[in-house]
Amino acid sequence: MKHQSVRFCKFGVPAEVVSYEAGEKHVFEELGSGELRVKIQFSPINPADLNYIQGNYGILPELPAIPGVESVGIVIESKSDVVSIGDQVIFITRVGTWQSEVTCAAEDVVVIPNIPSEQASMLKVNPLTALCLLENYVRLEVGDYIIQNAANSGVGQSVIQIAKLLGFKTINLVRREELIAELLDLGADHVLLDDRSVVENVRSICGERLPKLACNAVGGDSALRLMDALEEEGQHVTFGAMSMRSLKVPNKFLIFKRIQLHGLWVTKWIEANDKVTIISAYQRLATWVAEGKLHQAVDTIYKPEDIVQAITHASQNKRSGKILLDFS
């Protein structure tokens, strides 16, 4: 069977430096104890993947390298006592998933319930990030408000759905008016344009019960609006930097409101937690997916040989969901 992969040999503009490779036959080394061979089904193209190819990510690989921070696959060979042939797995460590088969350690994967493979391929990053945001920084009670920017993003949509399941209310900021209706349909309680009227509108919605938690994926002025909308001693968590603008925090937010600032990189959360905790989180998320309560939109699915077109599409702001690579 032809082995397919996407590689890059230098850092740069993703669509210019990636290449598709295919061989009629790929010879793998024999598995060692505790190792698996996994047939990849789908791999999303995430902003982290693009940053990785650009050389702007928190991890720099040795070149040449195969991208792919998340994926789903089926185990086709196993020398593990805990992972069996036929199991559906996602990868919790970086193994380079933009290829048709991967050899890895059993510790690199989590077995999940059988859910649609397109949804399973997107389970690692966005839903887990959303769950960590909602549960790891402040004790929220049923009916409490949280506020987030970039609410139409993959994480933002996961936050809306999971918050609803947990009984929390969401105030969601977006940059384009045409996004409002679709987020309300998804279950958002309030959707506002991310402009200078945010704080006034939030106070009108919440009264004295201002948001306890702000989820920031943008940075710059948008991040400051979130701080201004928080209650005293509110928690502000940054997990993205879409605007590429730094946080320049006014002293008043730290002195008078005593806002607490945090950063979240889900890779570090996985590294910091034991396997039982990680498995429990993903089982919970996968169960919600299976029940139809958590869903991520897919815009277009590409074959790996169309990687340049796929990356170009994934780099565009106006999409209706994720771009996936189909290795199945």
> Which residues fall within 8 angstroms of residue 240, CB to CB, at 6 or more apart?
47, 150, 153, 155, 216, 217, 218, 219
Inter-residue long-range contacts of 11-14, CB under 8 Å, 24+ positions, other chains counted: 11/53, 11/54, 11/55, 11/63, 12/53, 12/54, 12/55, 13/54, 14/49, 14/50, 14/53, 14/54, 14/311, 14/315
User: Which of the residues 20, 52, 57, 282 is marked catalytic?
Assistant: 57
**End-to-end CA separation in angstroms for the chain:** 12
- How far apart, in whole angstroms, are the C-alpha atoms of residue 212 and residue 233? 8
Residue 57 annotated in active site: yes
- Reported residue count of the chain is 328
Instruction: Centre a 10 Å sphere on the Cβ of residue 220 and count the other Cβ atoms it contains.
Output: 17
Q: Which of 297, 301, 326, 310 is nearest to 154 (CA)?
A: 297
Catalytic residue numbers, as ranges: 57
